[in-house]
Amino acid sequence: MTNPLADMDKPDVIFCIGTNMTECHPVAATGIKKAVAAGSKLIVVDPRHIDLAKQADVYLPIRVGSDTALLLAMAHVIAREDLVNKTFTDERTTGLEEFVEHVKGFPPEWAAPICEVPPEDIEKAARLYAKADRSAIYYTLGITEHICGVDNVKSLCNLTLMTGHIGREGTGINPMRGQNNIQGAGDCGALPNNYPGFQAVDDPEHQEKFERIWGTKVDLELGMTKVTALERCGESIFGMMIDGENTLLSDPDRNHCQHALESLEHLVVIDIFLTETAKLAHVVFPATSWAETDGVCTNTERRVQRLRAAVPAQGDAKPDWWIVSQIARRLGFEGFEYESAKDVFNELCEVSPLYNGLDWDRIDEGEYHWPVPDKHHPGTPRLHETGFENGRGIFSCTTYRDPAETINDDYPLWLTTGRRLQSYHTHTQTGRSGGMEYFLPGESLEMHPDDVTRLGLADGEPCRMSSPRGAIDIVVKATTKSRPGTVFTSFSFKDTPVNVLTGSGYDPTTHTPELKVCPVRVEPVAAS
């Protein structure tokens, strides 16, 4: 997030796109609810009539995967109606003229049939966002889990650059991160393109720096993404170590994924449960869990916070860092002589420019947002206040393209996937915590009542849902939360492994799978 969570009740206009925040980030959503209660305007873009949509001033139930078209048309309206913040664009951006020329070709009348929403509503949203003194964008995986995820994000950036809604309180472009330390995993360099602190691996200066620190040689070449690695299992990848991820249930195209992991000669899994993924491993290590582990995590607003152990480890479980370091030492690697989580974290602070000003003791109260370049720095709750790191903000001339697969006679419904309030990811934790079954005993397929009738299905009865990759049986839930023609389910339950169906395509840059779009066929169980 460019802005802190504390800013969430401050914007005049809040623009939520592809974020079901009341279920996925409930505490953050309270900020938005407070803002709306105090008079802020709310724009919600989501194919489902989520709870936030009920409070929206403008609600755009777009067809899944049409975000770029909507955002281009919004930019068109802002340019056409002279709502561009010229002071901001003059001082801080580059490429505006070319961009304004580009978006001339994408009026709301062009986007409306793609997005399946009225052009007037697109205009309304654009004016509301642009005219306010302070507007803030919030998004989640509804923006990124598409083959055009990068284009979606760039399109949102275009809107902030046109209007100058960035670098000030109550503005910004704010992705809501979905896991407690997913921001931290990136911060720490668990990425194929970046060393810790987002230092590019293909920059020889960084290579030289880390070779000096670690005393070893490191490739200048970018690593491959996990998606590519899974594709190459059994061909060029033969050994893998997975820490705390139930790949088999969380990744798209389960059958492909299972085949990939089974074709490895050596798979080591570190986890707290014997997950579906761990069952395929050659060696499984028991990790200490949350509440048993000292450490550090970074939240969605870049706040670096301490995790503290309160109870002893179960059985012989050990911290992840200890397990990895022990493997490293047995392989003769140097630099893994850590005695505590503190040792590891302090090393990270030394090598990451974003953390240089931090250490184990300084983060005790959790008041720092990175970057914290030195020990006297107060932290950076708000990014880009005085300028952009790389100079000027650059407009991107994005274009719309269809999802990897579109509906057709064989697969006539759009399936989109997501999460539910009471379950978390593959439910390994929430499913074992007692009580959640009272609210959410199992998964169902949300479908508009008209579709239920038209397809000869019945509310509460099982149906069979198929994609080109497979089929699952799942109970139908008739609800107007779904648009006609679009169905929804979560990926939390192993009895309804929706990742058997998904996996139609990937964003070419980030390799993020298009988990939000999958054409499917739904029919009564007996008929198939």
Applying CB under 8 A, the span of 84-92, 384-392, 458-466, 510-518 interacting with another protein comes to: 510-518
Cβ-based nearer residue to another protein, 399 or 422 = 422
Residue 319 touching another protein (CB under 8 A): yes
Minimum CB distance to another protein, residue 332 (Å): 9
Element (H, E) at 17: strand 13-17
d(CA 242, CA 252): 17
Q: Using the rule CB under 8 A, give the single segment among 130-138, 233-241, 386-394, 465-473 that binds another protein.
A: 233-241
* Range 150-209, binding another protein (CB under 8 A): 176-193, 195-196, 201
Maximum distance among all Cα pairs of the chain, rounded to whole angstroms: 69
CB-based burial, 351-363: b 16+ in 10 Å, e otherwise: bbebbbbbbbebb
**Closest Cα partner for 49 from 448, 522, 463?**
448
Q: Applying CB under 8 A, which part among 120-128, 329-337, 399-407, 445-453 lies near another protein?
A: 329-337
E-only strand ranges, 359-423: 393-394, 413-418
Of the candidates 58, 161, 287, 463, which one interacts with another protein according to CB under 8 A? 287
Q: Which is nearer to another protein, 61 or 244 (CB)?
A: 244
Please select the residue that binds another protein; options are 226, 392, 469, 494, rule is CB under 8 A.
Answer: 226
> Residue 111 or 280: which CB sits closer to another protein?
280
| Separation CA 20–CA 176 (nearest Å) | 10
Stretch that binds another protein, among 344-352, 400-408, 455-463, 477-485 (CB under 8 A): 344-352
Choice between 163 and 512, CB closer to another protein: 512
Cβ proximity of 318 and 272 under 8 Å: no
72 or 404: whose CB is closer to another protein? 404
- Closest CB 277 distance from another protein, rounded Å: 10
247 part of the interface to another protein, by CB under 8 A: yes
- Beta carbons of 481 and 23 less than 8 angstroms apart: no
- The size of the interface with another protein (CB under 8 A), counted in residues, is 149
> What's the rounded Cα separation, in Å, for the pair 383 and 390?
13
Asked whether 249 and 261 are in contact (CB, 8 A), the reply is: no
- Closer residue to another protein in complex, CB, 84/242: 242
**Binding string, 19-58, against another protein, x = CB under 8 A?**
---x-xxxxxxx--xx--x---------------------
User: Applying CB under 8 A, which part among 94-102, 124-132, 236-244, 447-455 lies near another protein?
Assistant: 236-244
Q: Is 347 in the site for another protein (CB under 8 A)?
A: yes
Q: Is 336 in the site for another protein (CB under 8 A)?
A: yes
User: Which of 290, 454 has the CB closer to another protein?
Assistant: 290
3 state SS of 355: coil
CB of 434 closer than 8 Å to CB of 460: no
Output the smallest distance, CB 419 to another protein, in A. Answer: 9
* Of 160, 250, 492, 496, the one binding another protein by CB under 8 A: 250
Compute the least distance from the CB of residue 460 to another protein, in Å: 17
Dist CA 50 CA 17 (whole Å): 11
Q: Which of 62, 112, 128, 272 binds another protein (CB under 8 A)?
A: 272
DSSP codes joined into one string, 74-136: HHHHHHHTT---HHHHHHHEE-HHHHHHHHTT--HHHHHHHHTS-HHHHHHHHHHHHHSSSEE
Query: Would you say 171 and 187 are in contact if contact means Cβ atoms under 8 Å apart?
Result: no
Residue among 147, 232, 189 at smallest CA distance from 349 = 189
Q: Is the peptide bond before 371 cis (omega within 30 degrees of 0)?
A: yes
Q: Which of residues 361-380 bind another protein (CB under 8 A)?
A: 366-367
98 vs 350, which CB is nearer to another protein? 350
210 binds another protein (CB under 8 A): yes
What is the residue whose two structure tokens read 């990926």?
Answer: 491
Query: What residues from 406 to 435 belong to the interface with another protein (CB under 8 A)?
Result: 421-422, 424, 428-435
Is the CB of residue 519 less than 8 Å from the CB of residue 414?
A: yes
Residue 54 structure tokens: 């009920």
Give the nearest distance from C-beta 457 to another protein in angstroms. 25
Beta partners for residue 305, in sequence order: 297
**Interface with another protein by CB under 8 A: which range of 107-115, 163-171, 296-304, 472-480?**
296-304
Residues 451 to 470: which contact another protein by CB under 8 A? Answer: none
